[in-house]
Amino acid sequence: MTTKKTVTKKAAPAKKAAAKKTMTAWDKVQIARDAKRPHVYDFIANVCSDFEELHGDRLVNDDRGLVAGFGMIDDEKVLILGHNKGATVEENMASNFGMANPDGYRKAMRLAKLAERFHNPIVTFVDTPGAYPGKEAEERGQAEAIAKSLEFFSGLKTPVVVVITGEGGSGGALAIAVGDKILMMENAVYSVISPEGCAGILWRDGKMAPAAAEALKITADELIKLGAIDEIVPEPAGGAHKNHKVACANVKKAVLKAIKDLKKLTPDELVEARYAKIRSYGNFY
């Protein structure tokens, strides 16, 4: 007599998409602002070697909200520019939480001109809520410094690679974000205004910030569709703050590739292509 075996079917594995929570734009805003996320000095330590920081705008003072200096990324000598949010309360206060003064942008332009003279590529790390809005900053020409920086970087005859690492906020970010290749970390955000500011203007209610974040299209996934950025740099699971070394290694790889591609162009071709890129912003057809 033959005994019929009962076959027990195993439950089908749940789809990863169902198990993994879909991140909203507001979720990414929180990750981009995480205090443990790598800051400019973390990128310098993990991406560069032989870094020599330079100081001052030769006019007023040395703004700690914007770091600048020359260093090596493998065999490439580059100028590093980056907003400095700071890793401690003392550093936060000294650097205005990464909100640069006019002196910082003038320092960046001074050293970018030096990099152009010696044909060194420029790499900028963007991470700021916006330019510093204080009384002294306005008195020293904050708006003029940002406008001048936009004009200046658009005409530089050396490769400029931009990496948006955390918050890319308003004109404070744009001042050092005019480049040939715009890279953006997976969980960074980039916007003309903060979600809270947008919510306050449109709805007069800060609680609407999550809705504003969605409407502003500030995530890397949205911005690459709009053509505002060129490449998304992947982050380790959970965000860059979970593993600085992996996050910085991914950034280094993307930056070196971008520099290699850009060095194939002549200075005049660089400027022409950069101008075409800038003029294409906002043209969605």
Q: What is the mean pLDDT of residues 10-35?
A: 72
Separation of alpha carbons 177 and 168, rounded Å? 9
User: In this predicted model, what pLDDT tens digit does every residue of 181-230 receive, in sequence order?
Assistant: 999 999 999 999 999 999 999 999 989 999 999 999 999 999 999 999 99
- Burial string for 43-67 (b: 16+ CB within 10 Å, else e) reads bbebbbeebeeeeebeeeebbbbbb
Residue ranges covered by each domain of the chain: 24-277
Tokens (6 digits) for 234: 């992947």
Distances (CA, A) of 40 to 163, 227, 281: 11, 25, 27
Tokens (6 digits) for 124: 């900028």
User: At residue 18, does pLDDT exceed 50?
Assistant: no
How many other β-carbons are positioned within 10 Å of the β-carbon of residue 126? Answer: 30
Separation of alpha carbons 56 and 60, rounded Å? 8
Beta bridge partners of 162: 124, 182
User: At residue 118, does pLDDT exceed 70?
Assistant: yes
For residue 130, give the DSSP letter.
S
User: In this predicted model, what pLDDT tens digit does every residue of 48-88 receive, in sequence order?
Assistant: 989 999 999 888 889 999 999 999 999 999 999 999 998 88
Q: What is the mean pLDDT of the chain?
A: 90
**For residue 113, what pLDDT is reported?**
96
In this prediction, what percent of the chain has a pLDDT beyond 90?
77
Residue 19 makes CB contacts below 8 A (sequence gap 6+) with none
Q: Left (φ > 0), alpha (ψ -120 to 50) or beta: where does 3 sit?
A: beta
Q: Is 90 exposed, middle or buried (0-12, 13-18, 19+ CB in 10 A)?
A: exposed
User: At residue 257, does pLDDT exceed 80?
Assistant: yes
Q: Which helix (H) or strand (E) holds 207?
A: none
User: At residue 108, does pLDDT exceed 60?
Assistant: yes
Tokens (6 digits) for 263: 């060095």
User: At residue 8, does pLDDT exceed 90?
Assistant: no
Top CATH class, 24-277: alpha beta
The per-residue DSSP string of 96-157 comes to: GGG---HHHHHHHHHHHHHHHHTT--EEEEEEESSS---HHHHHTTHHHHHHHHHHHHHT-S
Q: What is the mean pLDDT of residues 247-267?
A: 96
Residue 123 makes CB contacts below 8 A (sequence gap 6+) with 73, 78, 79, 80, 81, 161, 162, 163, 255, 259
Confidence tier at 283 by pLDDT (50, 70, 90): confident
**For residue 60, what pLDDT is reported?**
85
**For residue 284, what pLDDT is reported?**
65
Q: What is the mean pLDDT of residues 127-154?
A: 93
Q: Is 210 exposed, middle or buried (0-12, 13-18, 19+ CB in 10 A)?
A: middle
Residue 102 makes CB contacts below 8 A (sequence gap 6+) with 60, 137, 140, 141, 142, 144, 145
User: At residue 11, does pLDDT exceed 80?
Assistant: no
**For residue 243, what pLDDT is reported?**
95
Separation of alpha carbons 184 and 219, rounded Å? 9
- Contact (Cβ atoms closer than 8 angstroms) between residue 97 and residue 87: no
State the number of CA atoms in the 13 A half-sphere of 152 facing the CB. Answer: 21
Tokens (6 digits) for 45: 């330590």
For residue 234, give the DSSP letter.
P
**For residue 10, what pLDDT is reported?**
52
Separation of alpha carbons 285 and 278, rounded Å? 15
Q: What is the mean pLDDT of residues 85-106?
A: 89
**For residue 21, what pLDDT is reported?**
65
